[in-house]
Amino acid sequence: MSRPLRLSLWTLIVLLVLGVLLVAGLFLPLLAVQTAESNPEYAHLAWPFLATFWAACAAAVVALGAAGNLVELAAAGRLLTPATQRPLAVAIGAFGLMAALFLGVNAVLTFVVRQNHPSIFLALLGLGLVCLAAALALVAARGQVARAAALADEVEAFV
């Protein structure tokens, strides 16, 4: 991996982490306060939903940390080795947690609270499905990495 590509990937990861922290620290609390003020009958749900979205933001930061580990493994030429299994497993877990949180909030708003605006329903459904698709893609990648590592071991044993 070239140095400019590695630097670009790390810059992107850092900017994404800063964006997630900005959303979690500023946008979500402001949105929770505004929603609680405009809908006082649902104000008691502000903190549970805020905590849930903070958990999703934390999972996103963990997934970005795993991406950073993968960048370093790629830079060292060790991307298709067993060392890749751990960051992939962490990222799979983070994306799975985010999918469960987004789809869970969507289900609570739809079936328990019975007040889910169509745009919020579609946004949460989309976020949940994108996270689920990412987790499934990483599961497939993890299998391919395991196969590549096994083939490399066989070639090494043969030579």
The 10s digit of each residue's pLDDT in 65-83 is 999 999 999 999 898 888 9
Helix axes 118-158, 85-107, angle to 10 degrees: 160
Which long-range contacts does 6-9 make (Cβ < 8 Å, 24+ apart)? 6/71, 6/74, 6/75, 9/67, 9/71
End-to-end C-alpha distance for the chain, whole angstroms: 26
Per-residue pLDDT band for 1 (boundaries 50, 70, 90) equals confident
The domain ranges of the chain are 3-158
For residue 42, give Cα distances in angstroms to 24, 30, 35, 90.
21, 16, 8, 35
Q: What is the pTM of this model?
A: 0.90
pLDDT for position 79: 87
19-23, 43-47, 127-131: range with lowest mean pLDDT: 43-47
- How much is the average pLDDT of 80-87? 91
103-149 pLDDT, tens digit per residue, is 999 999 999 999 888 999 999 999 999 999 999 999 999 999 999 88
Q: What is the pLDDT of residue 154?
A: 84
Residue 159 confidence (pLDDT) above 80? no
Residue 38: what pLDDT? 92
Query: What is the pLDDT at residue 150?
Result: 87
pLDDT band for 157, please (50, 70, 90 cuts): confident
DSSP H stretches of helix in the chain: 3-22, 28-38, 46-75, 85-107, 118-158
pLDDT, average across residues 24-40: 94
User: Hey, CA dihedral for 6, 144, 142, 19, is it positive or negative?
Assistant: positive
Mean per-residue pLDDT, 23-44: 93
| Burial category of 48 from C-beta neighbours within 10 Å (exposed 0-12, middle 13-18, buried 19 and up) | exposed
